[in-house]
């Protein structure tokens, strides 16, 4: 069982590394998003520094969602999803492996690139570490909430735009606590750890609910 | 439980709803007439909010119904996924637009009240924001339903999305509460009894029951229409298959 789990994980990581179009594209999109914001807001560094965490979180959210519709679609098309359904590994764990691979190739690079992009929006030095921490803790929730929606839309021909529409309202808590974790670390009224802990709780429950819901959705579309 | 499942038979549902619907509609109209008479002419204007208080009589029932219809959709979703019952799917499909409409009514009436009272149509306050998120959830459910062509598959996909949404609603509510709060706290459904004066509470309750019955009437009619639509669809498919066979026989 463990071998099957790691096989799915390794396969998705290898696909992301060799086939392209996944993780690094999300990074480029993230960079583009963050670069576009100052053009809309004006080059006022004080303003940018104040809303910097929000810009980076919004960018991370959108870049995670943008490629998610392909998470199960490619497998549905080439038939590997059939193999996963037939394998002794529970479908929930296959979904978990795929979601984990998605996070390792999208969410984690986004979090690690955030300090560099933070420089563009004049994020103060003491906010950089909390930002990276909140992104590392929070982005798995985005991957797994998105995975359930990706499973629902896996067999749709025009699934591209419907996925963000479905997922966006469900990501409200992640966005709230992600940004407030950074703000708290910059001297907000709260102790810095609290929003981060709640964010961790949201992520853990999103992993469970997302995996189960996505597996149920994939079984329904047989 | 057995009787509930018998009721879930589509043909029986059609018969029963045909008998009940005129009564439900009649009582709903009566209650709405009485309630609106009380709300417009009898209930006093508020000492602070003046005449704008009368917006509440539409605003509050709409908010309750928007939440009630999402709960109804979640219950139907369980029926779809566990028993795979077609009527549950019809119920959840018919509930979504009605719930969305009540959420929209709640948001619009709220902003009409907010302009004179708070001085702005919209504030990013916790309760307003949760209702807006609920409205977006409704739109997502409707969009997913429209994106999948085959009704039974669409029904199961929508059911999963509805349940994921209903797990999320308390989390969203909690996080939005944390995020900001300006709206007055609940004043009717409280453990210590309502804080609203009886001269305003009665019209509100009568209207709430009236709106609920009207909404249930709409829901049942929408379900009937959807059942008939699906029956027509099946008949069309059967007819097409029959014509197919006939043309095959003619060719032989």
Chain A residues in contact with chain B using a Cβ-Cβ cutoff of 8 Å: 148-149, 152-153, 156, 158-159, 162, 165-166, 168-170, 172-173, 176-177, 180, 198, 202, 205, 209, 213, 216-217, 220-221
- Taking the CA of residue A201 and the nearest CA in chain B, the distance in Å comes to 11
Residue B4 has pLDDT above 70, yes or no: no
Q: Domains in chain A: how many in total?
A: 1
At residue B45, φ and ψ (nearest 5 deg) are -75, 150
Q: Which two tokens stand for residue A74?
A: 């490619």
Question: Within 10 A of B101 (CB to CB), how many other CB atoms are there?
Answer: 18
Which chain B residue is nearest to residue A216, measuring alpha carbons?
B160
Per-residue DSSP letters for chain B? Answer: -HHHHHHTSHHHHHHHHHHHHHHHHHHHHHHHHHHHHIIIIISPPBTTTBGGGGGHHHHHHHHHHHHHHHHHHHHHHHIIIII--HHHHHHHHHHHHHHHHHHHHHHHHHHHHHHHHHSSS----HHHHHHHHHHHHHHHHHHHHHH--SHHHHHHHHHHHHHHHHHHHHHHHHHHHHH---SPPPSSS-TT---S-HHHHHHHHHHHHHHHHHHHHHHHHHHHHHHHHHHHHHHHHHHHHHHHHHHHHHH-
Give percent of chain B above pLDDT 70. 88
- Nearest residue of A to residue B157 by CA position? A152
Q: Is A204 exposed, middle or buried (0-12, 13-18, 19+ CB in 10 A)?
A: middle
pLDDT at B241 over 60: yes
Q: Does A165 sit within 8 Å of B140, measured CB to CB?
A: yes
| Cα–Cα distance for residue pair B106/B61, rounded to 1 Å | 8
Scan for tokens 């009272």, then name that residue.
Answer: B117
Percentage of chain B exceeding pLDDT 90: 28
Residues of chain A with C-beta less than 8 angstroms from the C-beta of B133? 169, 172
Question: What band does B183 get if pLDDT is binned at 50, 70 and 90?
Answer: very low
Residues 6-65 of B with CB under 8 A from A: none
Q: Torsion over CA of A153, A156, A161 and A165, rounded to 10 degrees?
A: -30
In this predicted structure, what is the pLDDT of residue B193?
A: 53
CA end-to-end span of chain B: 53
Q: Chain A: residue nearest B179 by CA?
A: A176
What are the DSSP E strand ranges found in A9-65? none
* Better-scored residue on pLDDT, A165 or B125: A165
Q: Of A111, A104, A137, which Cα lies nearest the Cα of A15?
A: A104
Tens-place pLDDT, residues B83-113? 888 888 899 999 999 999 999 999 999 888 8
Low-confidence residues of chain A, pLDDT below 50? none
- pLDDT for residue B54: 81
Place B1 in a pLDDT band, splitting at 50, 70 and 90.
very low
- Structural domain including A153 reads 2-220
CB pairs under 8 A between A and B: 72
pLDDT in tens, B140-172: 999 988 888 787 788 888 999 999 888 888 888
Partner A contacted by B231 (CB < 8 A):
no
Q: How far apart are CA A177 and CA B178, in angstroms?
A: 9
Q: State the Cα–Cα distance between residues B95 and B75, nearest whole angstrom.
A: 11
Assembly ipTM: 0.81
- B81 and A216 within 8 Å at the Cβ level: the answer is yes
- Whether A217 sits inside 8 A of B179 (CB atoms) is no
Over 90: is that where the pLDDT of B69 sits? Answer: yes
Q: Which of B45-49, B52-56, B104-108 has the lowest mean pLDDT?
A: B45-49
More confident residue, A75 or B223: B223
Q: How far is A45 from chain B (nearest CA, A)?
A: 25
The predicted structure's pLDDT at residue A134: 92
- pLDDT, one tens digit per residue, over A76-116 is 888 888 888 888 888 899 999 999 999 998 889 899 988 88
pLDDT of B118? 77
Q: A16 to chain B, minimum CA–CA distance in Å?
A: 27
Average pLDDT, chain B: 83
| Domain limits, chain B | 20-42+50-181+195-225
**Residues on chain A touching B169 (C-beta within 8 angstroms):** none
- Longest distance between any two alpha carbons in chain A, whole Å: 57
In this prediction, residue B74 carries a pLDDT of 92
């Amino acid at each position: 069982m463990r071998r099957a789990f790691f096989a799915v994980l390794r396969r998705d990581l290898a696909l992301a590394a060799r086939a392209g179009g996944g993780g690094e594209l999300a990074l480029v999109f993230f960079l583009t998003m963050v670069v576009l914001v100052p053009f809309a807001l004006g080059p006022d560094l004080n303003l940018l520094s104040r809303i910097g965490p929000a810009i980076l979180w919004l960018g991370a959210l959108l870049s995670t969602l943008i490629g998610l519709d392909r998470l199960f679609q490619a497998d549905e098309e080439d038939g590997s999803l059939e193999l996963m359904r037939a394998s002794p590994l529970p479908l929930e764990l296959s979904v978990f492996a795929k979601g984990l691979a998605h996070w390792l190739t999208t969410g984690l690079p986004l979090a690690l690139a955030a300090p560099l992009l933070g420089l563009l929006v004049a994020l103060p030095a003491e906010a950089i570490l909390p930002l990276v921490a909140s992104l590392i803790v929070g982005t798995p929730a985005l991957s797994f909430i998105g995975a359930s929606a990706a499973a629902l839309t896996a067999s749709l021909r025009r699934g591209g735009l419907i996925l963000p529409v479905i997922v966006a309202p469900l990501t409200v808590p992640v966005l709230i606590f992600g940004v407030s974790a950074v703000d708290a670390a910059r001297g907000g009224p709260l102790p810095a750890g609290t929003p981060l802990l709640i964010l961790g709780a949201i992520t853990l429950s999103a992993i469970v609910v997302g995996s189960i819901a996505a597996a149920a959705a994939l079984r329904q579309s047989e | 439980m057995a009787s509930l499942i018998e009721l879930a038979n589509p043909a029986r549902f059609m018969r029963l709803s045909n008998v009940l619907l005129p009564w439900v509609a009649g009582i709903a109209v009566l209650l709405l007439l009485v309630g609106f008479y009380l709300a417009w002419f009898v209930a006093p204007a508020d000492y602070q909010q003046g005449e704008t208080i009368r917006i509440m009589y539409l605003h509050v029932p709409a908010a309750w119904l928007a939440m009630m219809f999402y709960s109804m959709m979640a219950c139907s979703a369980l029926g779809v996924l566990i028993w795979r019952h077609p009527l549950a799917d019809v119920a959840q499909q018919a509930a979504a637009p009605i719930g969305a409409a009540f959420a929209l009514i709640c948001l619009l009436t709220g902003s009409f009240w907010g302009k004179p009272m708070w001085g702005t149509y919209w504030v990013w306050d916790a309760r307003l924001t949760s209702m807006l998120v609920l409205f977006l959830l409704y739109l997502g459910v409707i969009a997913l339903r429209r994106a999948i062509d085959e009704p039974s598959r669409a029904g199961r996909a929508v059911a999963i999305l509805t349940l994921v949404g209903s797990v999320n609603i308390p989390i969203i509510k909690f996080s939005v509460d944390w995020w900001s709060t300006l709206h007055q706290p609940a004043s009717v459904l409280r453990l210590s009894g309502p804080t609203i004066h009886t001269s305003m509470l009665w019209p509100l309750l009568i209207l709430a029951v009236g709106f609920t019955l009207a909404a249930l009437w709409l829901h049942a009619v929408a379900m009937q229409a959807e059942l008939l639509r699906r029956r027509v669809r099946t008949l069309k498919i059967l007819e097409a298959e029959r014509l197919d066979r006939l043309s095959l026989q003619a060719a032989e």
